[in-house]
Structure 1
């Protein structure tokens, strides 16, 4: 019902310039990638939506007509968690039903037809929670599939509902990597399981038990947490082989990024072996870093994958490799391309499509399999971020992407014709996003500390260049990261701008997508060149953007951006800003040793905590001389489940600001990690962050619709006399 309400009023609102507020952002429909059927005439996608009226979410699966762009409902059964097209049939579907009538905590596989979804049948009962379904029809007519789930060390699928509960809460560890991201490590791990549905007449039935393809390799894990998903593994088109990525099981995971790509028969008849391990005959020389995204060729005879060279650097440049299974030969493709691609699809045996960051966008590029070292791929998509893409029968590509002005944008493109046709866009479908468009954003280049730096500008509702608007400096995390032309449900620059700001979002030293040198130059330089680049962006705005009021400027950042906010607090720029917001930022230099991924800090600061302590302290926001300069009002957000940057960092900063008499507030979510994801928490996060900035910039006095700290619905604890 809520989805229908959004759709039916969108047309009437399309001509209105909307100011997007936090509740609109959070409650707007969120749609998945559009997955086309083999015939290429229709695609499926899921939609979820949160209601602040009912404080609950609804979900549905929908069909997108690839000729007309018309959207229709497939099912609103909330138990349907994943759907895949089955083989070459244009209408058969295989889906995961998120419940199991026979096994508590298990799931089921169902087969149905897109034209009669409600009349499907159960084909298999799975003994635990599984996701990431991939399936192919074999030459025998059977369906071979893979899916991921939790595993015990003996290979048995882990079912949380049926697991024996320990009488003690104790945890005991004999090696580092005690916890990662937001979870303490246990004896269970992620694994890829394979199974078969046998063809029986016109139906499919489960054949044999599931096979754990990962557990026979000691200490292997796939998908690799916290961000690993179905892109960490693939099943060959003929159904005979499976490939998966795992962090290297023979090196300490907390110290190195090394990962291997494994190859294993689908039936598990042999133990998986790495194609790029230290003893593998095809391993590229000197390449020891993270490997990911293995994808089989159409002929099932090759695997494309990416790998970094540096074994202790998560942001090294990814290079595309092609491994031939029979000859065990691996070759690099377009090896000298100064970009770091992150996704790949086979067009045919001779051509590939790769996606990757490029100058604040994520574009698609055409790459031949035999591309030489000096080959420079040509982009065929431009604006926004191409989040997912699928080859259509006519060799065009169905792309699902986003931009800063729309959360969901589905279009077709091809290397020869570039973008061909837009089929659907959220800002045309959803009333809460109506009025958003490309005119809401712009970009400029300015002189940084060593090179030209790109920055985005995001304009507020009803922007008038003859007027003045306070500047909001947006500082991205990473430190190797970027502000891209993409949608965000957490740090959405348009939501900030529509409070009444001109948002300046620079991509300073350390940013990705602008060449590897800019990315690498932040190493052991956290408060140097990046800070100078941000100062230069501020000064450029003051000098060249006549509508930008830098006398009332504020700044906000998260993760590394939070560190930079803390660095700014003790720097000259801090004296020019009215307020600061630090989300999950590091504060005390010596506290970096408490992180989970030690390789990150040891690479950034050129050594161990005890061997290179001066490097760790070189850019220390808590240095006493810097603390003596603190006087800008600051909000600190830090969450209990953030194990990458533990909560003590935020508390330490808050203690210092309070004792120094600097206006400050501490916002904490005990059930959130490095991000604030839960919708009700997100609404409070936005209210506090925007309210803090608005109070000190004066926006809350100018804009009666702006968020105000007076709107606080959570009790504020204050024991000061």
Structure 2
């Protein structure tokens, strides 16, 4: 009888599993955009609640709306706080915990709003002539600091706003430029600078704390928060680049405003990047992140401690061969918690200030938005993986027990057949070990043969990770029946600074050979990969590498290049941040032309007479980091040499394809292109 009962139970379980598997389906691009995205998260002053941004996109409306939600730190169902018809972003608790402030443009201009938690509708707090970009509360709740973009030549904020209005209404749209930097990423910034302002708790009596023709905070190479009040609310630390040509250096410095007429630079002796200042709980110490080498944006960060009492500086992490990202103080001021990219993950660490001993608290997946309870016992954070978008988690620091607080996308994820990333390691061309990830297609059968899509990341000092990427999503690439592989070639972050440094001045050398060695390893060690059906795709540096591959080998059936450099000399003359190519290629192309020529795919177009891999080229016309002329040159060369090719240009996109309907077109065109040539 017992045996029959066990058999019936086993049969039921097998039937349930088979039915569940049959109910699963492959992921689609519509699913990717249906995922609800958790953004900024803030812990309440008493540690009992979390407020977070949640963005929902509409494919039909081709846009998204961000609303604010409240969640108990004990878990449960989150509660919506703001309208889902207009966006609300950047939530901040008032220091007394009685209200939540946020930014919204619901009345036509970005202002700070205040939502009392004891009931009532949000009300506008500020009436500033310009859009407010970001803000923070002083710890005592008496003041706010906020940032706005001003015209430094204007006599005041009102004149700056009037000039903006006149420019918008004028039929003349010309830019008159007298100096670098005049545009960045996706916008022109002529006569525009970030400034930090302070106002009172009622949103009145504002004052520009960082006047002058400088960006404070800077436009790039920034920390998570680059202006902050001291615990007693009397001092303000901020980051700025005060050099004559910020476009050609990385000298971001940390400044301290002691009072209205007393400003000092704390990091004047370091010409490399300094950012992300945070005061210790007692206000005596200032932690910040610093690089060592001027001009190098991918140098390793160290956590530094500036003692405000004796003006001494010590490094906490110079013995740690990874680059700290976010950091927070423990409430007792004895330790700092931080995360850092490591081998495709983002673990969380804790360092003791007295011993400088570093311990790893969390190892798996990608962990960010670190927050700690007022009693120092619980760590709150966001976590994502290749099969789960960001969700909220908590860790008991004494027991090291982790619990999930939210599961926003559970209903949709439960429908999808997804395989988590698998790690692989191989010996590259020079004997060094390299690491990558592999993703299997839905309903994988090891007895079958599958085509391979080989993905190449940007940077080049980037990293393929165990994350749910909304642009280059490995699960979506696998959804059409492909095995997906992604190698963290030399130059990638998360493997020590020596590995990261190895790409500089060697763009088409070691990284390319790592990728080819990785491909050799994959087809030799995974019998389910069809070595005769391999495509490659990449963006940014990955797009450059696709362009390079196109001129160097014929082992791929199809290529996809997005936002990739083709001619490095002409790119130098049209990009915006000049420190990057000057470091990567040893100077300007006028003074040091050799490497610009050596590593430009444009120089090797004649190789297409020997082989011609069908290539799809895509680009955003508002991309000022890798300007669209690179895609036009690549496509022109492909066409003139008779290589099967297609060009897709998005007039309303930048370095990324960010609008839902554009993204759907991009994914469909990429899949169609690969399937056309590979199957």
Q: TM-score, normalised by structure 2?
A: 0.90
The answer to whether the 8 A contact 1:631-1:662 is kept is: yes
1:109 — aligned with what?
A: 113
The answer to whether the 8 A contact 2:110-2:133 is kept is: no
Task: Give the whole-Å Cα distance in 2 for the aligned partners of 1:679 and 1:311.
Answer: 39
Deviation at residue 112 of structure 1 after TM alignment: 0.9
1:489 — aligned with what?
A: 470
Q: Tell me the secondary structure at the aligned position of residue 138 of structure 2.
A: strand
2:257 — aligned with what?
A: 264
Moved more, 313-322 or 378-387: 378-387
Deviation at residue 556 of structure 1 after TM alignment: 0.0
Match 1:243 to one of 237, 240, 260: 237
Please list every run of 5 or more consecutive structure 1 residues that lacks an aligned counterpart in the other structure: 1-11, 198-204, 278-282, 699-721
Match 2:89 to one of 78, 81, 85: 81
Q: Tell me the secondary structure at the aligned position of residue 565 of structure 1.
A: helix
Deviation at residue 56 of structure 1 after TM alignment: 4.5
Task: Give the whole-Å Cα distance in 2 for the aligned partners of 1:341 and 1:317.
Answer: 8
Deviation at residue 96 of structure 1 after TM alignment: 3.4
Moved more, 337-346 or 69-78: 69-78
Task: Give the whole-Å Cα distance in 2 for the aligned partners of 1:136 and 1:176.
Answer: 34
Task: Give the whole-Å Cα distance in 1 for the aligned partners of 2:223 and 2:207.
Answer: 19
2:656 — aligned with what?
A: 675
Match 1:564 to one of 545, 561, 565: 545
Task: Give the whole-Å Cα distance in 2 for the aligned partners of 1:539 and 1:80.
Answer: 49
Deviation at residue 81 of structure 1 after TM alignment: 3.1
Task: Give the whole-Å Cα distance in 1 for the aligned partners of 2:384 and 2:156.
Answer: 39
The question of 1:211 aligning with 2:207 is answered yes
Deviation at residue 367 of structure 1 after TM alignment: 0.8
Task: Give the whole-Å Cα distance in 1 for the aligned partners of 2:246 and 2:534.
Answer: 42
Per-residue deviation, residues 60-83 of structure 1 (Å, max 9, x unmatched): 221222213322222325253332
Structure 1 residues 302 and 634: CA distance shift in structure 2, 3 A? same
Task: Give the whole-Å Cα distance in 2 for the aligned partners of 1:502 and 1:240.
Answer: 57
The answer to whether the 8 A contact 2:435-2:489 is kept is: yes
Task: Give the whole-Å Cα distance in 1 for the aligned partners of 2:180 and 2:124.
Answer: 44
The question of 1:480 aligning with 2:488 is answered no
Per-residue deviation, residues 513-570 of structure 1 (Å, max 9, x unmatched): 1000000011111111111111111111111111111210100001111111111112
Moved more, 632-641 or 37-46: 37-46
> Residues 139-158 of structure 1 correspond to what in structure 2 (within 5 A)?
142-153=141-152, 154=155, 156=157, 158=160
> Residues 49-68 of structure 1 correspond to what in structure 2 (within 5 A)?
49-68=56-75
Structure 1 residues 15 and 88: CA distance shift in structure 2, 3 A? farther
Q: Tell me the secondary structure at the aligned position of residue 205 of structure 2.
A: strand
1:295 — aligned with what?
A: 278
The answer to whether the 8 A contact 2:27-2:476 is kept is: yes
Give the number of equivalent residue pairs. 650
Q: Tell me the secondary structure at the aligned position of residue 589 of structure 2.
A: coil
Q: Tell me the secondary structure at the aligned position of residue 543 of structure 2.
A: helix
Task: Give the whole-Å Cα distance in 1 for the aligned partners of 2:309 and 2:471.
Answer: 46
Please list every run of 5 or more consecutive structure 2 residues that lacks an aligned counterpart in the other structure: 1-18
1:93 — aligned with what?
A: 100
The answer to whether the 8 A contact 1:379-1:415 is kept is: no
Match 1:188 to one of 188, 192, 214: 192
Task: Give the whole-Å Cα distance in 1 for the aligned partners of 2:20 and 2:308.
Answer: 55
Per-residue deviation, residues 620-651 of structure 1 (Å, max 9, x unmatched): 21224434334111000122211222211111
The answer to whether the 8 A contact 1:99-1:108 is kept is: no
Task: Give the whole-Å Cα distance in 2 for the aligned partners of 1:694 and 1:296.
Answer: 54
1:604 — aligned with what?
A: 584
Task: Give the whole-Å Cα distance in 2 for the aligned partners of 1:659 and 1:71.
Answer: 57
Match 1:320 to one of 300, 303, 310: 303
Per-residue deviation, residues 78-123 of structure 1 (Å, max 9, x unmatched): 253332111143x4323334345xxx6352432411x42x345554
1:708 — aligned with what?
A: none
Deviation at residue 466 of structure 1 after TM alignment: 2.1
1:225 — aligned with what?
A: 219
The answer to whether the 8 A contact 1:13-1:431 is kept is: no
Deviation at residue 269 of structure 1 after TM alignment: 0.9
The answer to whether the 8 A contact 1:110-1:123 is kept is: yes
Deviation at residue 419 of structure 1 after TM alignment: 4.6
Moved more, 487-496 or 60-69: 60-69
Task: Give the whole-Å Cα distance in 1 for the aligned partners of 2:66 and 2:106.
Answer: 15
Task: Give the whole-Å Cα distance in 1 for the aligned partners of 2:523 and 2:403.
Answer: 40
The answer to whether the 8 A contact 1:14-1:434 is kept is: no
The answer to whether the 8 A contact 1:355-1:362 is kept is: yes
Task: Give the whole-Å Cα distance in 2 for the aligned partners of 1:159 and 1:419.
Answer: 52
Task: Give the whole-Å Cα distance in 1 for the aligned partners of 2:322 and 2:397.
Answer: 18
Q: Tell me the secondary structure at the aligned position of residue 405 of structure 2.
A: strand
Structure 1 residues 152 and 620: CA distance shift in structure 2, 3 A? closer
The answer to whether the 8 A contact 1:296-1:303 is kept is: yes
Task: Give the whole-Å Cα distance in 1 for the aligned partners of 2:224 and 2:457.
Answer: 27
Q: Tell me the secondary structure at the aligned position of residue 533 of structure 1.
A: helix
Task: Give the whole-Å Cα distance in 2 for the aligned partners of 1:586 and 1:667.
Answer: 15
Deviation at residue 611 of structure 1 after TM alignment: 2.2
Q: TM-score, normalised by structure 1?
A: 0.85
Structure 1 residues 566 and 614: CA distance shift in structure 2, 3 A? same
1:705 — aligned with what?
A: none
Deviation at residue 271 of structure 1 after TM alignment: 4.8
Match 2:445 to one of 451, 464, 481: 464
Task: Give the whole-Å Cα distance in 2 for the aligned partners of 1:407 and 1:272.
Answer: 42
The question of 1:441 aligning with 2:432 is answered no
> Residues 665-704 of structure 1 correspond to what in structure 2 (within 5 A)?
665-698=646-679
Q: Tell me the secondary structure at the aligned position of residue 297 of structure 2.
A: coil
Task: Give the whole-Å Cα distance in 1 for the aligned partners of 2:143 and 2:317.
Answer: 34
Q: Tell me the secondary structure at the aligned position of residue 440 of structure 1.
A: coil
The answer to whether the 8 A contact 1:246-1:259 is kept is: yes
Task: Give the whole-Å Cα distance in 1 for the aligned partners of 2:221 and 2:30.
Answer: 27
